[in-house]
Chain A
Amino acid sequence: MQKKDLGLAVLILIVGVIVAIINPRFVSAVNLANTANLVGLFGLFSIASAFVIVTGGIDLSIGSVIALLGVLFVDLVVSAAVPWPLVVLIVLAAGALIGLAHGWLVTRVGIQPFIVTLCGLLIYRGAARYYTHDGTAGFTFGQSIPSLEAVIAGRSLGIPHATIAFAVVALASWFVLHRTVFGRHLFAVGKNASAARYTGIDAARVTTLAYVICASLTALSAIFIAMYTRSVQPSSHGSFYELYGIAAAVLGGFSLRGGEGSVIGVVLGVILLQVLQNLVNLLGIPSSLNFAVMGSVILAGVIADIQITRYRQARRARIALAETAGSPAPADR
C-alpha cells in the first residue's frame, strides 16, 4: 500500500514540476488556492465513494444526491429562510437517510449495489428537477448570508474552508478505516465475505454503515459545492461526479472487488485528477480533451498496478515452489 501511495505522490510531483516549468502560473497563489478549493470539494465525495468501494460495492448516485441536496439546501436557506445551521443538519440527516435506504436495499433486500444506486441516480435527479420545476435554485443578485458565506465558502489564512473540511474528513476517515475495529471489518467484508462470516462479523450491519457514511459525506460535499456554484441547475449540477469519485478511488489503489485501498491513496488520487485538469487548462490543451486525459491517466495507472500485482504473484509462486520442493506435495487423489 505504502509503495503504491508513494508512487502516486511522486507522479503528482513530476506532473506538477513539469507544468510549473512550462507555465509558472501553476504555482501562483491564486491558482494554488483555487486548485486546493477544488481538491476539497471533489475530495469530500471521493472519500465517500471509497467507503462503499472498500466493501466491494459502488455508489452511482453521488452526483444526483449532490444535486438533490444542493437544491434542498439552497431552497431552505434562501426561499424558506430557515436558519442555515439547522439546514446543514437537515441536509446531513437527509443524506444519512438516503444511505440507510441504500444499505437496506443492498443487504436486506439483496439487490446489487450497482442497481440500487443506479436507480438512486435516476430518482434523485428527477426529484431535484421536480422540486424546482426544472428551474435554477440560487441566491438572487446581491443577496447574501454573511455568516454562511464565511463558514462554508470562506478562507482562513488563505486556505479555502472546503480544503480544511476535506483535510479533517480525510484524517478522520484514515483513522476509521485504518485504525478501528470497524475499519478492519469493512476491509474484511470487502475482501472475503465468506471468511468474514466465519469470524462472526455481521456483514449486513457493516455494509449498511458504509452506505450511511458514504451518503452523509456526500451530503456534506453537496453543501460546500452548492455554496461554491452559488446556484444549482438541477438538470446538470453534479453530473458525473460519482464517476469522478470512483476514478479517484481507483487511482488511489482501491479495487472495485473490495477490500483494498487507503485513504492516503484516494487523497492523492483526487489531487492528481485536479492537477491534471489544471494542466489541461494551463497548457492550452483544448478543454474538450479534459475527460480523455483523465481517462488515459487512470487507465495507465491501473495497467501499471496490474503488472505490479502479476510480478508479485509470480514471486509468491516461486517462493511457494521453493518451500514445497523436497517435502511431499499434497497428492490429490
Chain B
Amino acid sequence: MRTAASGRIDLALEGITKTYPGAVALDGVSLSVTGGEIVGLIGENGAGKSTLLKILGGGIAPTRGTIRIDGQAHAQLDPARAGALGIAFVHQELNAFDNMDVTANILLGREITRGPLGRLDRRAMAEAVRPVLDLVGARFGPEDQVADLSLAELQQIEICRALSRDARLLILDEPTSSLTLAESARLIDIILGLRRSGVAILLVSHRLSEVEACADRVVVLRDGRKAGELVQGAITREAMTRLMIGRDLERGRARAPRPPDGAGGRAALALAGLRTRAFPGAVANLAVRAGEIVGLAGLVGAGRTELARAAFGIDPPAGGEVRVNGVALPPGDIAAALREGLCLVPEDRKSDGLFLDFSVAANIAQPNLRSLSRRGVVDRAAEARMAQAARRDLGIKAASTDQAAAELSGGNQQKVVLAKWLAMEPRAIILDEPTRGIDVGAKAEVHDIMRRLAARGVGILVISSDMDEVISLSHRVAVMRRGAIVAELEGDRITEMNIMSSAVD
C-alpha cells in the first residue's frame, strides 16, 4: 500500500521542551522506546503527557529538542510523517463509524478497489483485515456491524486500524478508562501479545496497577519535567505515586476549620447514595455545609463531571437522592434544582455555560428573567442594572455589558457564568473545572469570588484537576475513583500524597 518504514522502531526523544507564552508545558524531557518494549508514561493531570503525545503525533512542534527515529534526527514531525514512520495512536475517545462494518472502519480511506469504476473489492478488504483481527484475538468478524460492538471491541478496532497501517509504535492514551475490569485485563493481554510480535508500546494510564502489570519501564512526568524513570523490579505503585507528586509537598497546610453544621444539621448540599448512569454500581455520599468549600478530586474519567450533572439534573441519576438545604430534589429536574438554590457552573463554558453571541447582560439575565420581569415582560432597566452590578462586583472586563460574550477572554467569560448564578443567590453551587483554560490573574479572581461566596454562607463543591487549586481552596476534599467517593480528607490530611493514593487504583 504505502512504502512505510519497517522493522522494529527505535525512537528517542531528547531534551524536548515546549513553551507557550508565559507557560512551560515541557522542560527538557527525554524518553526512549524500542520495538518489543512496553513503556509506561504517567503523571498527574497537567503534568505534560498530552503535550508530549501531540509532539509524537506531529500535532505540535517542540520548542527545543530532537526526535530521533531509527537513528535519524527530526526537529519536529507532522501527522503524515509520524504515520509514515509507523507511529499510531489509540485515543481516549474512540472514533468509530457505527454506520459501517468492521472492515470499512479499519480500512477507511485506504479501501481496496477493483476495475475502472473503482468498485470496492469487499473480499480483498476482508482478507486484508483478517490478519490484524487475529493479532488482537478479536471475537468479531470483518463483516460485523460496528454498531453491535462493545466499547472494548471498538477499541480493538482502533488498534487494528493502527496495525493495518503497519504501526511500529502504538501509543495508547488512557485505554482502559472506560473499560470494565475484565475488559481491561483482556486489553493488557492484547498489549503483551503485540509486544511479542515486535511492536513498541507507549502506555499512558492513570491505572497504576495496569502499568505495574505490563510495563518494562515507566517514565514519570511532573510539572512538565521528567520526575524519574523506573525499570522493571522497581515499578511499584508506591514508587510511581511518590515520583508523580514529588516529595516536597507532603506536609499539609494550615487551613480554616470547617464551618459548623447548619440549623438542624442540614447541609447546603447533600448527595445521599447518588449513583450515576456512567457508574451505576458506584455510590456517592457527600454533604457540603453552608459556607464550606469542598474540593472534589480525582483523575480524569473518575466520574466527577457525571456526578455533578446527575446532582444538578442534567442527566437523571441511576439512583439516590440530592438534597438542597434539606429539601429533596425531584431527579432530573433542573428547574427544581434552581428553585431550591442549586447551581452548576459547567465544565464546558462555551457550549453549556454561555450564549456566546448574546450580550453580557442577556447572558447574566437568562436564568434570572423571572425576577427581572413583571407579568412576563422583561424590565430592561433592571436587567441593565443587574449586569452593571455584576460587572462591578466581579470585575468583568468588558467594553460594555452590551458586548457579546464571545468577545471576552476566557476568564471574563467564566465570571459572566458565575455572575448569572450569583444573581440568583444560590444556597449551593457546583463548579466543574472553574479555572481551566483561564489565565493566572483571572484564576486568582475566580478563587476570590468562591471564597467570598463561602463567607456569605453558600455551600461550594468544586471539581478540579488542578491539585494546587483543590488543596489551597478546600476546607475538605472528597476523592472519587470509578464513580464512587472513596475518601474524604480534612485538615492536615489534605495532602497531594493522600489525594493521589486514593485516586489511583
Q: Which residues of A contact B (CB under 8 A)?
A: 179-185, 187-188, 191-192, 194-200, 202, 259-260, 316, 319-320, 323-325, 327-333
Contact = CB atoms under 8 A, between A and B. Distances in A.
Contact of A200 (B23, B338, B376): B338
A182 B376 contact: yes
Contacts of B355: 188, 191-192, 195-196, 259
Lowest 9 CB-CB distances: which A-B pairs, in order? A328-B22, A331-B23, A199-B367, A330-B437, A200-B335, A333-B25, A333-B51, A200-B338, A181-B369
Interface in B320-356: 334-335, 337-339, 344, 346, 351-356
A75 B50 CA distance: 71
B314 A316 contact: no
A330 B410 contact: yes
25 contacts: A181-B369, A181-B373, A181-B376, A181-B377, A184-B366, A184-B369, A187-B358, A188-B355, A192-B351, A192-B354, A192-B355, A195-B355, A197-B334, A316-B406, A320-B409, A327-B439, A327-B441, A328-B440, A329-B23, A329-B439, A332-B437, A333-B48, A333-B49, A333-B50, A333-B51
Given A200-B367, A328-B23, A180 B440 contact: no
A184 B352 contact: no
B36 interface: no
B238 interface: no
A194 B352 CA distance: 5
Interface size range on B against A: 35 or more
B358 A191 contact: yes
Given A195-B355, A325-B21, A333-B50, A179 B378 contact: yes
Contacts of A329: 20-23, 439
Interface of B: 20-23, 25-26, 46-51, 224, 314, 334-335, 337-339, 344, 346, 351-358, 362, 365-367, 369-370, 373, 376-378, 380, 404, 406-407, 409-410, 420, 436-441
A328 B441 CA distance: 9
A180 B373 contact: yes
A332 B50 contact: yes
A209 to B, nearest CB: 12
Given A194-B351, A330-B439, 13 more contacts: A179-B377, A181-B370, A181-B376, A181-B377, A192-B356, A198-B344, A198-B346, A198-B352, A200-B338, A329-B21, A329-B23, A330-B438, A331-B25
B409 A180 contact: no
Contacts of A195: 351-355, 366
Contacts of A187: 358
A191 B437 contact: no
B456 to A, nearest CB: 22
A323 B409 contact: yes
B96 to A, nearest CB: 24
Contacts of B362: 184
B145 to A, nearest CB: 23
A333 B367 contact: no
A199 B357 contact: no
A182 B370 CA distance: 10
Given A184-B365, A197-B334, A198-B344, A328 B20 contact: yes
Contacts of B46: 333
A328 B373 contact: no
Given A329-B23, A332-B50, A199 B420 contact: yes
Contacts of B352: 194-195, 198
Interface centre among B337, B365, B367, B440 (most CB of A within 10 A): B367
B407 A181 contact: no
B270 to A, nearest CB: 21
A216 to B, nearest CB: 18
Contacts of B436: 330
B131 to A, nearest CB: 37
A319 to B, nearest CB: 6
Nearest to A331: B23
A192 B367 CA distance: 14
B425 to A, nearest CB: 15
A185 B277 CA distance: 29
Nearest to B337: A200
A200 B377 CA distance: 18
A325 B21 CA distance: 8
B52 to A, nearest CB: 9
Nearest to A315: B407
A327 B22 contact: yes
Interface centre among A179, A188, A333 (most CB of B within 10 A): A333
Contacts of B314: 197-198
A319 B21 contact: no
A54 to B, nearest CB: 13
A153 to B, nearest CB: 34
Contact of B20 (A199, A202, A325, A331): A331
Given A198-B334, A260-B357, A333 B373 contact: no
B335 A327 contact: no
Contacts of B224: 333
B372 to A, nearest CB: 8
A316 B354 contact: no
A260 B334 CA distance: 25
A183 B366 CA distance: 11
A316 B25 CA distance: 27
A258 to B, nearest CB: 11
A184 to B, nearest CB: 6
